[in-house]
Structure 1
Amino acid sequence: MIYLSLIDNCCTFHDTELRRHNDAEHPINILVFLIDNDFINDDRLYKLNKSIVDNDFSVNINIPVSFGGTGKSVSTWIMCDLP
């Protein structure tokens, strides 16, 4: 089942740098897609979704110097639109 590899990918969202606000390939957006399509019954997805609902997560983000950032990856939270 192909969705199992997508679930494995979702488990890496803490380590995957968010590069654009609309990055459809970022694991957090894949997680939202899987949950929206009722794959939440997988225990790993349930735990990830619960951490998001409980506001207990962060993502790595790199804001370039040209946009006022440091140019380095930092762990933080961010609010953005979905792709």
Structure 2
Amino acid sequence: MNLIPQGTILVATPFIYAMIIPLLVFDLCVELYQRVVFPLLGLPLLSRQEYIRQDRHRLPYLNPFQKAGCLYCGYANGLLQ
């Protein structure tokens, strides 16, 4: 049961998905940092697969918009973890 009014969701959605740009910039910076600094310090590179999980979009009962939301959410939460 959805307790959030539909109008609120429509207003919030552009702000939620606009965060993809800062997230991609952050991802690039973290990846460059890891690729340059970790070898210099003798540290092993971290595996992105341990943090970024992309599996919930496979649920058969989701519509295409919900599946895209699951991909975005999995990427964002894994990146920030």
TM-score, L = length of structure 2:
0.23
RCO (CA 8 Å, sep 6+): is it higher in 1 or 2?
1
Structure index of larger Rg: 2
Higher strand share: 1
Higher helix share: 2
